[in-house]
Amino acid sequence: MSDFIQAKNLKFSYINEIEEPPVRTEVLKDINLEIHKGEFVAVLGHNGSGKSTLAKCFNAINIPESGTVTVNGLDTKDEDNLLEIRKTAGMVFQNPDNQIVATIVEEDVAFALENMGVEPNEIRKRVDEALKTVGMYEYREHAPHKLSGGQKQRVAIAGVIAMQPECILLDEPTAMLDPKGRAEVMKTIKQLNREHGVTIVLITHYMEEAAQADRIVVIDSGDIVMDNVPKKVFSQVSTLKNLGLDVPQVTQLAYGLKKAGYDISTEIITEDECVEALERILADA
């Protein structure tokens, strides 16, 4: 099956039962989305557009109000599929402090496997592997609260990849990190995708991070408004600005130069491409 995660006419609302009568907030209106195996998808959208809500639909935390979501062929509505789906699609959250359960790094990485009832020896093996993959093996006996933000977030990622999921959903994993931590986490994510073939769904506010994905999905008030490769998405600078989003700095530069009458492509998303284009302009002049 090539469509690894499939959302069909997905509708989702939060219902606040405390109020009388219950208040309902419709968040996702009619989402149709397919994510293929091994893909690296970035999800963009301004605050409150429904990105997190969508991601939580992909691992059966949120159950669709109507429509269906299937993960690896398993329907998220079916209660019996719950653990299998969570094993298949792991999730990493924004604040590393609030997702680490144990007081020792390796114990935390083992948490999911212990819940799954894996044999002790097998847990040990997989924990060590996961820690090595994220480059935190030397810290396996440390207390998590003594690590830096980027390190904590990598431990959280290790805790998820120890489950050997086929897909990882990351909800703004770099939002609380400094530039160094951000780079560490992005490197780990890309490595998981390229070397281990893990499907990645990355929600982010950093356009430079989104530019590294295979595909970008832009969400606005619960609807998918763009779904294309990064070059095509970022070339629509004014549309993005109207949605309250930025473009990578280099794209912004190229866009400005183009407007000023220079002959430059608007499909520039990496620094290297930008340097090359600028060199060409300078050589022509």
Partner 1 sequence: MIKDITIGQFFPGKSPVHRMDPRVKIVLTMVFIIMLFVADKIWGLLIGIAFTVFAYAISRIPGKMILKCLKPIVPIIIFTAVLNLFFIRTGKKLFEAGFILITDDGVNTAVFMVVRIICLIVGTSLLTYTTSPIDLTDAIERLLSPLKLIKVPVHELAMMMTIALRFIPTLIEETDKIMSAQKARGADMETGSIVKRARALVPVLIPLFVSSFRRAEELALAMECRCYHGGEGRTRMKQLKVSCVDFVAVAVTVVFFAGIIVINHLV
- Cross-strand pairs, 44: 218
- DSSP3 helix / strand / coil % (the chain, rounded to 5): 45, 25, 35
Query: Smallest gap, in angstroms, from Cβ of residue 27 to ligand ADP?
Result: 4
Sign of CA dihedral 16, 21, 25, 29: positive
C-alpha span between 33 and 214 (Å, rounded):
15
What residues contact 79, with CB distance under 8 A and at least 6 apart? Answer: none
**Contacts with ligand ADP, 108-147, as mask; x by CB under 6 A:** ----------------------------------------
- Of 52 and 88, the one with the shorter C-beta distance to Mg ion is 52
Q: Choose the stretch contacting Mg ion; rule: CB under 5 A; options: 46-54, 162-170, 192-200, 238-246.
A: 46-54
- Of 75 and 246, the one with the shorter C-beta distance to Mg ion is 246
**Considering only residues 39-68, where is the footprint of partner 1 by CB under 8 A?**
59, 61
Is residue 45 near ligand ADP by the rule CB under 6 A? yes
Tokens found for residue 268: 């520039």
Query: Smallest gap, in angstroms, from Cβ of residue 163 to partner 1?
Result: 7
Q: Choose the stretch contacting partner 1; rule: CB under 8 A; options: 8-16, 32-40, 97-105, 194-202.
A: 97-105
- Of 50 and 150, the one with the shorter C-beta distance to ligand ADP is 50
Q: Choose the stretch contacting Mg ion; rule: CB under 5 A; options: 45-53, 182-190, 212-220, 244-252.
A: 45-53
What residues contact 168, with CB distance under 8 A and at least 6 apart? Answer: 89, 90, 91, 92, 157, 160, 161, 189, 192, 198, 199, 200, 201
C-alpha span between 120 and 100 (Å, rounded):
20
Identify what 215 binds: ligand ADP, partner 1, Mg ion, none; CB under 5 to 8 Å per kind: none
Is residue 118 near partner 1 by the rule CB under 8 A? yes
In this chain, which of 52, 72, 133, 188 binds Mg ion, going by CB under 5 A?
52
**Contacts with ligand ADP, 4-43, as mask; x by CB under 6 A:** ----------x-x--------x-x----------------
With 0-12 / 13-18 / 19 or more C-beta atoms within 10 angstroms meaning exposed / middle / buried, residue 75 is middle
C-alpha span between 61 and 27 (Å, rounded):
15
